[in-house]
A = this chain, B = another copy of it.
Amino acid sequence: MSADEFEELSHDEVRNTMLPPTPEEEAGLADLYGRMEREHMIPLWTQIGDLMPNQPSPQAVPHVWRWTSILPVAEQAGELVPVGRGGERRAIALANPGLGGRPYITPTLWAAIQYLGGREIAPEHRHSQNAFRFVVEGEGVWTVVNGDPVAMRRGDLLLTPGWNFHGHHNETDRPMAWIDGLDIPFVHYTDTGFFEFGIDRVTDEATPDISRSERLWGHPGLRPLSALQPTVNSPIGAYRWEHTDRALAQQLLLEDEGVPATIEPGHAAVRYVNPTTGGDIMPTIRAQFHRFRAGTQTRTVREVGSTVYQVFAGRGEFVLDGERIVVETGDLVVVPSWTACRIGAETDFDLFAFGDQPIIERLHFDRRFIEEENV
């Protein structure tokens, strides 16, 4: 067989061409495998196909969580479970059905709905894990990050990079729920995490409209001379909806004027970045926002790395490895690595997205395949 033919073969097809062992060989192998087990050794040849598949073969599966289902669960938890020291947060993880009951939405990422009742306080702690919050509805909570109070409002992305003390407090009588994204699974898997408790309340109970980080950093193309070194994480604590909305609207207007601005027709998109480097907000998590004109269909893309989408507004569909899922505001969809993904917009359609691509790219495992370009 030529190399070209082999490249087309899967491990299973190759395995089927091998001769089965004789009974004596079976006995010898049994002895050998027993000895290996005692020595904490495992042969490659019996499991290479599982260990090194021809292409990524995730255990995680595509899945959708409906906002209309998860919000009531969070509300019920709000009635039954206190928030405070020990449990730390009233956060409920979305558990990928393929990942064996672990609270992981993908092998690397955690996504949860967090719920804070009126006047409640989630006490301060800090950890190596990088975190963000995204608000699909509501307001009235301040998250206090490293002493800086950050108002949380609809459409905002709020950052809590690793090892910053943080707590939340609700200044209203109404509960508020939002989405947390973290790299908990990755940090757990790589044994890289540290955790410390902080004070039982928050270190600054002020309720300013914008955070100090925004006052210092939220000016396009300008950086303070008092902070000129690149930082690992973005120094911006809050990416406000008004900026995201305006950036996306401008891309579509520019497209209307014939200027290159969108990534494909009818599809505007921005990446949230660290202004000290122009790169991703945190070393393990990418966050982006997509806006589609009604009727837009993306191309079908496979990419290494996993992504979670939350519908922010409108109605549309995901076609994932050929399966169609219709989604509406608040619904969350997970797209595992190398899943073929096409997105369609029934109405004007706004999507928040986060993924583990910074991990993939920093380690040079990134690959991307667009089906329509490879027919």
A positions within 8 Å CB-CB of B: 1-3, 6-7, 9, 11, 14-15, 17-18, 25, 28-29, 31-32, 35-36, 39-48, 51-58, 60, 63, 65, 69-70, 73, 76-77, 79-81, 84-97, 101-103, 107-108, 112-113, 124, 127-129, 162, 165, 184, 187-200, 212, 215-226, 228, 230, 232, 234, 236, 239, 243-244, 246-247, 250-251, 253-254, 259-263, 269-278, 281, 283-284, 288, 304-306, 336-338, 356, 358-360, 362-365, 367
Contact = CB atoms under 8 A, between A and B. Distances in A.
Nearest to A77: B32
A243 B271 contact: no
A89 B45 contact: yes
Contacts of A364: 162, 232, 283
Contact of A189 (B32, B189, B218, B254): B189
12 contacts: A7-B196, A17-B85, A44-B91, A51-B184, A56-B193, A58-B191, A60-B191, A107-B189, A216-B251, A221-B236, A222-B239, A225-B270
Given A81-B29, A86-B18, A276-B278, A197 B7 contact: yes
Nearest to A165: B3
A107 B191 contact: yes
A76 B69 CA distance: 57
A68 to B, nearest CB: 11
A250 B51 CA distance: 40
A43 B31 CA distance: 46
B191 A43 contact: no
A75 to B, nearest CB: 10
Contacts of A89: 44-45, 48
A177 to B, nearest CB: 13
A91 to B, nearest CB: 4
Given A76-B32, A80-B29, A244-B222, A42 B95 contact: yes
Q: How many copies make up the complex?
A: 4
B222 A243 contact: yes
Contact of A127 (B52, B69, B367): B52
A214 to B, nearest CB: 8
Contacts of A91: 43-45
A236 B25 CA distance: 41
Contacts of A6: 85, 196-199
A219 B190 contact: no
B271 A87 contact: no
Contacts of A274: 221, 278
